[in-house]
Every structure is written in C-alpha cells, then in structure tokens.
Amino acid sequence: MHYLPSPARYQHMTYRRSGRNGLKLPAVSLGLWHNFGDVDQLSNFRAILHRAFDSGVTHFDLANNYGPPPGSAEINFGRILKEDFAGYRDELIISSKAGYTMWDGPYGDWGSRKYLVSSLDQSLRRMGLDYVDIFYHHRPDPETPLYETMSTLDLLVRQGKALYVGLSNYRPTEAAEAIRILRELGTPCLIHQPKYSIFERWVEDGLLDLLGEEGVGCIPFSPLAQGLLTDKYLRGVPSDSRVAKGVGFLTENQLTPERLEQIRQLNELAKSRNQSLAQMALAWILKDERVTSVLIGASKPEQLTDSLRSLENTTFSPEELALIDKQSGKE
C-alpha cells in the first residue's frame, strides 16, 4: 500500500533554529543507531519512519557504521526513502557521519581526508542520495591535523555532497578550535552532537556555553542514558532489554542499588509532573534554549509517539531542577 504522509504533520511539532544558522530542526529527531540494521525487521522500521514523519519529525540521523552490520542502517533507510519518501526529499533533513572504524586498513577510520571523502561517497551510494543535509565528523582524531579534517568537511560542502557540517563527541577545547577553522574556511559549523543526559552532564562544563556564544546548535544523543532514564529497570532486567541482550554500552553492573534508587526518585518526580521518566528526561534536555533538538531512538512506533509527548511540558520549577541535580549525582 502506497504511503501518504499525514496532511497534519506540521501542526504539532516545534521547530528550533540551529544556533544562529538558517536551518530549523524538529525539537525531537529520530536516530537510527539501533533498530534499523539487517538484524531488525524492515516492516517495523518502515512503520517507525512513517510514524515519525506523520508527527512532524523531519530529521533522520544516521552514520556510516550504524547497523548491525555497519552500513546496513543506511541501506535500509535508503530503500524506504526510495519506496516511500521519494517525493518528500525536500521536506527531510538527513545526516550521516564518519569517524569510527568502517573498513579494514589504515584508510577506514578516524579523520583523514582520504577516509572522510570515501566514507561520504559510500554513504550516498547506500542511501541513494546526491547529498546529505548534515555531515558530521563523528569523533576527534588525535593524530590527523584538525585543519585537514575540517578542510575536508569544507571541501565536501563545496563539492555539493553535504549542505551543512557538524561535530560529534568533541570536547570544548577541540570544538572551539574546529569551529574557528570552519568559520575561517567559509563553511560554519551548523551543530554539535554530544552525549548528554541527566546522568551524563559533561557538556555543562563549557561546551553548551561555547555553542551558545558561537551560535552553533546542539543535538544531544543518548538522552535516556541507554534506557536507564526509563522505568524499565525498576522491576528487574527485562528479557528484551539491551542489558539482557548485551547490545550497546549498558551493562548489568551499572544497575547498582544507588543508581536504581536515583532512578526511583526521578520516576516519582516524573509522575508528579504527569510524565513518564523518559518523557521528563527528554523535556529536561529541551528546557535549555541552546539545545536545537534531542535525538531519540525507537524500537516500535508507539515508543516514538510516547517520546513526543515530552514536548507537552518542558518547563521545570527551581525545586524540580534541584531534585534532578541531586539524583543525577551532580551535587
């Protein structure tokens, strides 16, 4: 059956400008890090993508190594893009990244011009695209000169293979220098994608301030701390969870009594706000005007719909913020 997007898809989503740039992103974007590889069910992630676009989620975030196996998320996304979204390309923001190991040998990793150009060419072929909207360097390379990496991002924009460029996992000092180089080259940095959640707060030690001052957007990933900021582990470890499956970076030894008590306290606060813990955790990130969008994952369409309800209340009292700080381990 041919997919027809909802005509009401733009009525309920909030769109935020990325720093001082022209591009706006939905407050909630969909990341394809998990659940879109060859090990997953095509009909399910097709339904997730349909639900997302029907809800005004216009931004789909990928990387060369998403799967598993690496590359398969882009291939699967490209197939659905061709079959279901071909007439809507200009309504979509599609991003990809390179910076982690993708193929054997010295040219399949990190940040050299050779790797970045080859990787984006491969990503475009996998997705069947002429260009991506945003291309990120996925992580800093301690050995390649930063100028080489940033000038390659500039080159890819000038070649028409990307419209904007971004950084991911860069610490404040590295990010400041990268942003300066890109500006001088004439391809300003659009956005930074750091790991950020109630339990992971390093971006508050200078990065958010830097992005605000420089007019660069911010799109945090892992906002639910790989599922810790949900109520799923309060009753034990579910058999279908990432912990049980050994998928991702969350392990059972992270579920300490202290951490579970923090999750319990945060869950009670969320209830008092008429939100789930996951909804509150997303809203907490979106409370900051320097945040352009928050990246969520989804294993089924209903989960995505549930996450979008976080937009109904992104205001927090000083007392609520103090309690969240206390239970995050920040104090």
The whole-angstrom separation of Cα 211 and Cα 176 is 9
pLDDT at residue number 223:
98
Residue 151 has a pLDDT of: 99
The values of phi and psi at residue 16, to 5°, are -125, 140
Of the chain, the end-to-end C-alpha distance in Å amounts to 54
pLDDT tens sequence across 195-244? 999 999 999 999 999 999 999 999 999 999 999 999 988 887 765 666 65
pLDDT band at residue 329 under the 50/70/90 scheme: confident
Backbone phi, then psi, for 200, in 5-degree steps? -130, 105
CB 68 within 8 A of CB 39: yes
3-class DSSP assignment, residue 249: coil
Q: What is the DSSP string of 185-232?
A: HT--EEEEE-B-BTTB-GGGTTHHHHHHHHT-EE--B-TTGGGTTSST
The confidence band for 248, taking pLDDT boundaries of 50, 70 and 90, is: low
Q: Is residue 316 part of a domain?
A: no
* Alpha-carbon gap, residue 322 to 258, rounded angstroms: 18
* 283-293 average pLDDT score: 98
Residue 243 pLDDT: 61
The pLDDT of residue 66 is 98
* pLDDT over 90 at 112, yes or no: yes
Per the structure, how many domains does the chain have?
1
What does the alpha-carbon distance between residue 66 and residue 123 come to, in Å, rounded to a whole number?
11
pLDDT of 1 higher than 80: no
Residue 311 within a domain:
no
Q: Which phi-psi region, left, alpha or beta, contains residue 6 (left: φ > 0; alpha: ψ -120 to 50)?
A: beta
Strand duo 162-168 + 189-193: pairing: parallel
133 occurs within a structural domain: yes
Q: Tell me which DSSP letter residue 234 carries.
A: B
CATH number, residue 117 = 3.20.20.100
Per-residue pLDDT for 23 more than 90?
Answer: yes
Share of the chain above pLDDT 90, in %: 90
Which of the four pLDDT bands, split at 50, 70 and 90, describes residue 96?
very high
Predicted confidence band of residue 150 (pLDDT cuts 50, 70, 90): very high
**Predicted pLDDT of residue 330:** 75
Tell me which residue of 130, 139, 188 sits closest to 164, measured CA to CA: 188
Q: Residues 164-193: pLDDT tens digits?
A: 999 999 999 999 999 999 999 999 999 999
What DSSP string describes 76-127?
A: HHHHHHHHHSGGGGGG-EEEEEE-S--SSSTTSSTT-HHHHHHHHHHHHHHH
Eight-state DSSP code of residue 236: B
Q: Which domain holds residue 128?
A: 15-226+287-304
**What is the per-residue pLDDT for 121?**
98
31 pLDDT higher than 60 = yes
pLDDT score for 247: 55
Calculate mean pLDDT across residues 22-36: 97
Residue 88 above 60 pLDDT? yes
User: Looking at the predicted structure, is the pLDDT value of residue 152 above 80?
Assistant: yes
CB 122 within 8 A of CB 85: no
State the pLDDT at residue 236: 72
Q: Does residue 327 lie in a domain region?
A: no
Q: How far is CA 302 from CA 44, 180, 213, 298, in A?
A: 11, 42, 37, 8
Higher-confidence residue: 256 or 149? Answer: 149
Say if 282 falls within a structural domain: no
* 249: pLDDT strictly greater than 70: no
Question: By three-state DSSP, how is residue 16 classified?
Answer: strand
**pLDDT for position 240:** 64
3-class state of residue 327 by DSSP:
helix
Residue 113 falls within a domain, yes or no? yes
Asked if residue 27 is part of any domain, the answer here is yes
Q: What percent of the chain has pLDDT over 70?
A: 95
Can you name the residues that pair with 16 across neighbouring β-strands?
Answer: 25
Which position has the token pair 């598993």?
Answer: 68
Q: State the pTM of this model.
A: 0.95
pLDDT, mean over the chain:
95
Locate tokens 């893009």: which residue? Answer: 81
Asked whether residue 79 is domain-assigned, the answer is: yes
